[in-house]
Structures are given as structure tokens and as C-alpha cells.
Structure 1
Amino acid sequence: MARKKREWYAGARYHIMCRGNHKNDLFLDKKDYQVYLNILKHVKKKLEYELYCYCFMTNHVHMVIETEKIHIGTIMKRINMIYSIYFNKKYNLIGHLFQDRYRSELIRDDRYMVEASRYIHLNPVKANIVKNPEDYRWSSYKSIIGLSEEKIINSQRILSYFKAVRNKESYREFVESAIKE
């Protein structure tokens, strides 16, 4: 049975999730995380997309991506194919690295955009890896709140939903208000 074709149009925004096959780890050391980030940068130059936020967990990846000219399937196929080749070669493996194809949720409104970004940035906190989201290295959270240099993301889209005078502080308050003590 054929899979349902993903909805796509110029300017479509997606909450993307890629999980390791059988929930296995996608990242086994720090270099693996860095390679995935470098692949995002490389593919971004070739296929032009906007990355608004991300979080790389050990066995899955979350991202918010907007596409203008290239179908999301083409972008994700390229990212995951390049990383799979790298990973399988490095660890002398064969077969599928990712479980099925990536999952995507079309972001249809601004509320879902900010909620998705909060959910993504709180993943390491909810998994009890860190107490505060800014302590997790493999996330865009620190870049969005201004604690590290922006290298790959476009934080202005998410920050535009908060008061211009204190948008970084307001976003931080929004995200961290969901942390349960």
C-alpha cells in the first residue's frame, strides 16, 4: 500500500522528528552530534530551507523547518541519507539507521509554532538529562535566548511572537514556565 503524500507548499513549516531504528541511538559520541549539525548546514546551502529550532537527543531528533522552493521530503531525504552513510561507515554497520521515514506535523498557526519550539527545547529536561534547557549542548535554545552565537538557526521567527523589547527574555520565561518542579 502506498504511503500518503505529505502536504507541501511554498512557505510550509514543519515540526520534524526522526527516530533511530528500533529506538536505537543515532548519536554515540560528541562527534556524531557535530556531524549531524554540519550536515544540516551543508544541506541548507544546497537546498535552501530555514531552520528555526532543533534538539538532538540520543535516539531522536526534533526540528522546526520551513521550506520555500524545495519539498520537505527532498530535504529530509538528503539530510538523513548523508548522516546514515556517515554513521554506518564509522561504526561498520549496514541497514537502516532511522525508523521508517521521518515524522512531520504541518505547523498551520503561530500558536503551534511557539508550542512546538517549547516542546523541542524541553525534551532534555523532560528526559531528566539536564535540569535547565540552556544546559543541554545539542539544542538551539541557547542561541534563541542569546547565550550563544547563532550559527545555523533563524531565531527571529520564533522571537517575533514575543515583545520586541524583551523578546529573548520573554521566550525564556515562556519555555521555562512549563518546567515542573
Structure 2
Amino acid sequence: MADGIGWEAPDSVARRRRDDIPLSVHHVIQRGNNRNYIYENTRDKHEFLAILSDAVEIHGASLLHYVLMDNHYHLLVRVGEQPLSRLLWYLNRHYTIYYNKRYNRSGTIYGGRYKSYMLGEQEKLYSTIRYIVQNPVKAGMVATAVEYRWSGHKEVLAEKGGGIVDRRALFGYFAPEVALALKCYVQCTESDNWSPKIGFATIIDRAKEAEER
């Protein structure tokens, strides 16, 4: 049933789809309507991240990574028992309400339904993490990924953690120890000679080599 702002609430008895499998990881992409901006300024981005944090907590999910561009966003989400569709309905609906009220407008701000891709292989997971981190660099917005403010990259690199990215869950896909996992993550996201086909073992080997230098 449509809610008047361009979103339909999930069915009360949702069908068990592939993207709703508990603990599955998904790359989510949502673009603005006609590729228009969905964030006009830093206040909008702060508000979006606050709503995203609530959405993840309420729906028992883990946010593994994110990047906010001006007219779209990318999320890397590990779902819990509740379906991904419910989390994204909550996120997009509440942000649309905020945006419309702030800018005295009505209707949807998004260009249709979000796209989501389940990542069942580590190779795809690594390449997606790198893609999300490097998105602002590829767009010419910054020279290096760490310079971009509206990404989970700085949160992951921070020694004390913090932020809305679940570092523990993310690092679990790289190595059992936090220090080594962080080095593996840096190899995956920042190394110039990285390839999605190098494999998990190679990422660890390269991280250990860098540590020994």
C-alpha cells in the first residue's frame, strides 16, 4: 500500500526471498529521482546517517560500510532476522519525510526502488568494499579515499572505532585478530596492485609482509 511519498510498505507476511536470508550480506544502491541530489548540505547527510543508525539498530542488522554521494548512496548491510526490505523502507521513508519537510516539497526523492545484490562470495565482498571506499575518488571528489568525509572508511581506520559501521563484523571477513584484519582491510581498499581475484589468503600474506618491513 502506497504511503503518499512514493514508498510502499512491506507486506505483513513477507515472502522469504534470497535477500532476506539471515546473516546474508547485501550491497544496496539508491539513487535520487532523475539523478537529482538527495543531500543538499552537511545537515542533510548528518540527518540521513542518524536515521540509518536507527534503522540498522531497530532491524537487528549490521552496517559493514557506506558512502554518501550527492545524488545516491551505497550501503553494505548484513541483515539479521528481519528482511532487508523493512530496513530500507524505514530508512528511505523517514529520510524522505525529513527532506520534504525541510525543503517544503512533497513526493518521492528517490528514482524508484533501491537495487540490492547479495554477496555470497568473499571475492565479491572484497571488490564491493573497495568499490564503495573508492567511489568518491573515482568521481573526482577527492584525491584519496581517507579525505572523504561521508564514508565509513575513516570510521574503520579509527583506532577507537566509533561511528555507525560495525567494525567487528566487518573485520570478521578479513582476519580473526583486529590488528591483522585492519591491515588486510587497508590492503583491500587502498593498495594500487590489488585485484579482486587475489583471494583471502593473499590479502593476509600481503598484510603480514607490510608489517614485517
What TM-score, normalized by structure 2, do the two folds share?
Answer: 0.76
| Residues 129-148 of structure 1: pairs in structure 2 closer than 5 A | 129-146=141-158
- 1:176 maps to 190
Aligned-pair CA distance for 1:142: 1.0
Deviates more, 1:162-171 or 1:23-32: 162-171
The residue identity in structure 1 corresponding to 2:41 is: D
Residue ranges of structure 2 left out of the alignment (5+ in a row) = 1-14, 194-213
The residue identity in structure 1 corresponding to 2:66 is: Y
Structure of greater relative contact order (alpha carbons < 8 Å, 6+ residues apart): 1
Could you say which structure has the larger radius of gyration? 2
Change in Cα spacing, 1:88 to 1:67, as seen in structure 2 (3 Å) is same
Change in Cα spacing, 1:147 to 1:98, as seen in structure 2 (3 Å) is farther
- Aligned residue for 2:127, secondary structure, equals helix
**Cα distance per residue 1:44-81 (max 9 Å; x no partner):** 23221110000000000001111121111111011000
Give the count of matched residue pairs. Answer: 176
Aligned-pair CA distance for 1:134: 0.7
What TM-score, normalized by structure 1, do the two folds share?
Answer: 0.89
Q: In the alignment, is the contact (CA less than 8 A) between 2:59 and 2:80 conserved in 1?
A: no
Q: In the alignment, is the contact (CA less than 8 A) between 1:20 and 1:26 conserved in 2?
A: yes
**Identical-pair percentage:** 27
Q: In the alignment, is the contact (CA less than 8 A) between 2:161 and 2:167 conserved in 1?
A: no
Aligned with residue 47 of structure 1, among 59, 64, 71: 59
Cα RMSD of the aligned pairs, angstroms, is 2.0
Aligned with residue 82 of structure 2, among 32, 55, 70: 70
Paired with 2:34 and 2:52, the residues of 1 have a C-alpha distance of 23
Paired with 1:125 and 1:148, the residues of 2 have a C-alpha distance of 25
Residue ranges of structure 1 left out of the alignment (5+ in a row) = none
Deviates more, 1:128-137 or 1:105-114: 105-114
Q: In the alignment, is the contact (CA less than 8 A) between 2:65 and 2:165 conserved in 1?
A: yes
- Aligned residue for 1:157, secondary structure, equals helix
Deviates more, 1:134-143 or 1:170-179: 170-179
